[in-house]
């Protein structure tokens, strides 16, 4: 306590002459103050009429607006020049990916919901839920009509304030699932489940659940794994297609890679319908199988060491413990 008073006395000695030099004049009427110091203008940032949280929420509204408007320049302006994702993508690489997606999916519709914003002076962490939908041309000769592409993800964005403008400096995809469906597959409920986070060389299970309408339909499925690195997908596991049991569930045990690189579990699904026809012979009915739908499901699996720190110094385990401790103190 004594030490605090000493520090305060020193500060008072230094600050008092400085304030005197401003020639502040206070009249008997306390409302009349001349040449006062405006403390709202002291520091690195000017005072704004809106809170940082509102600024950031507005920023992500523009994020969604710019993507849906296909305005890549305005979209990229939300990112810092030194942006680097936790997977190593630079701002130039992100622009390349964005331009490629918008070109290949011209009718894409994007939606982003800000779940939480945590601001600490000039840094902020934002958690979002995002989804997108687009139509895709069919390149499958026996299925007519366009297909559909949809994806959902949970993301963490790391922001930094430059002057009074917030910029994205890094991001981390917590969980991501996507699906491309053609033909009858667009109307069949199906889900590919895999853990969002595993350690290197860990055994985990990928599960496909599909709800076919009746016993006239069957599903033939192959579950594989792909390793994503520098935006190049390398298939490192292959399995022969298998029929799904009457329960509608198919599982496969996989092992994560030992390179700390994120993986995607992929399920290729063919939906077959039995079609009976008369062969022309007495009491002889032929049953043919016709492919009526195809789907490709993907589920992201993050692979990292238990205490691995992301490039910008964010430690997932420590952050979780700190949040728990602060909630207990409250």
Q: Give the pLDDT confidence of 286-324 residue by residue, as tens digits.
A: 667 788 999 999 999 999 887 654 444 444 444 444 444
Supply 288's token pair. 């043919």
Q: For the segment 225-255, what is each residue's pLDDT rounded down to a tens digit?
A: 886 543 333 444 456 778 887 889 999 999 9
pLDDT of residue 87: 87
> Does pLDDT of 108 surpass 80?
yes
pLDDT of residue 29: 46
Contacts of 324 (CB under 8 A, 6+ apart): none
Higher pLDDT, 135 or 15: 135
Mean pLDDT of 247-276: 90
Q: For the segment 57-73, what is each residue's pLDDT rounded down to a tens digit?
A: 999 999 999 999 999 99
pLDDT of residue 1: 40
Q: For the domain covering 188-305, report its CATH number.
A: 2.60.40.730
CATH 2.60.40.730 domain position(s) in the chain: 188-305
* d(C-alpha 103, C-alpha 97), whole Å: 10
pLDDT of residue 41: 42
pLDDT of residue 2: 39
Let me know: does 204 contact 323? Beta carbons within 8 Å: no
Higher pLDDT, 322 or 143: 143
Q: How confident is the model at residue 177 (pLDDT cuts 50, 70, 90)?
A: very high
Which of 3.40.50.720, 3.30.70.1140, 3.10.450.50, 3.30.70.2740 is the CATH number of 49-181?
3.10.450.50
pLDDT of residue 202: 94
Q: For the segment 163-172, what is each residue's pLDDT rounded down to a tens digit?
A: 889 999 999 9
Contacts of 281 (CB under 8 A, 6+ apart): none
Strand partners for 268: 222, 296
Is pTM beyond 0.85? Reply is no
pLDDT of residue 130: 97
What's the Cα-to-Cα distance from 238 to each of 78, 97, 291, rounded to whole Å? Answer: 40, 27, 22
Contacts of 255 (CB under 8 A, 6+ apart): 201, 202, 203, 204
Higher pLDDT, 296 or 327: 296
Mean residue pLDDT across the chain = 78
> Does pLDDT of 22 surpass 50?
no
pLDDT of residue 308: 58
pLDDT of residue 149: 94
Window from 57-61, 104-108, 169-173, 175-179 with minimum mean pLDDT:
104-108
What's the Cα-to-Cα distance from 81 to each of 58, 93, 176, 294, rounded to whole Å? Answer: 20, 12, 26, 41
Measured in degrees and rounded to the nearest 5, phi and psi for residue 293 equal -160, 150
pLDDT of residue 152: 96
> Does pLDDT of 51 surpass 50?
yes
> Does pLDDT of 39 surpass 70?
no
CATH 3.10.450.50 domain position(s) in the chain: 49-181
């Amino acid at each position: 306590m004594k030490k605090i008073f000493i520090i305060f006395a020193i500060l008072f000695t230094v600050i008092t002459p400085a304030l005197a030099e401003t020639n502040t004049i206070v009249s008997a009427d306390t409302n009349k103050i001349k040449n006062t110091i405006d403390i709202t203008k002291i520091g690195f940032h000017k005072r704004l009429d809106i809170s940082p949280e509102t600024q950031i929420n507005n920023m992500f509204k523009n994020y969604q607006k710019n993507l849906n408007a296909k305005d890549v320049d305005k979209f990229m302006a939300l990112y810092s020049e030194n942006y680097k994702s936790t997977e190593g993508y630079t701002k130039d690489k992100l622009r390349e990916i964005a331009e490629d997606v918008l070109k290949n999916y011209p009718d894409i519709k994007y939606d982003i919901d800000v779940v939480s914003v945590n601001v600490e002076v000039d840094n902020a962490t934002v958690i979002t839920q995002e989804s997108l939908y687009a139509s895709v041309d069919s390149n499958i000769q026996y299925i007519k009509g366009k297909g559909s592409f949809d994806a959902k993800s949970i993301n963490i964005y790391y922001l930094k304030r430059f002057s009074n403008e917030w910029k994205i400096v890094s991001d981390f995809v917590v969980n991501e699932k996507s699906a491309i469906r053609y033909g009858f597959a667009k109307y069949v409920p199906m889900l590919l489940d895999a853990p969002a986070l595993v350690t290197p060389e860990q055994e985990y299970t990928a599960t496909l659940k599909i709800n076919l309408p009746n016993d006239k339909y069957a599903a033939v499925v192959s579950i594989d794994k792909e390793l994503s690195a520098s935006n190049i997908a390398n298939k490192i596991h292959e399995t022969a297609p298998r029929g799904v049991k009457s329960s509608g569930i198919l599982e496969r045990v996989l092992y994560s890679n030992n390179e700390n690189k994120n993986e995607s579990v992929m399920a290729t699904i063919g939906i077959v319908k039995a079609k009976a026809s008369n062969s022309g012979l007495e009491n002889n009915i032929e049953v043919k199988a016709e492919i009526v739908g195809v789907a490709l499901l993907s589920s992201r699996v993050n692979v990292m060491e238990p205490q691995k720190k992301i490039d910008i110094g964010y430690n997932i385990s420590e952050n979780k413990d700190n949040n728990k401790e602060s909630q207990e103190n409250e």
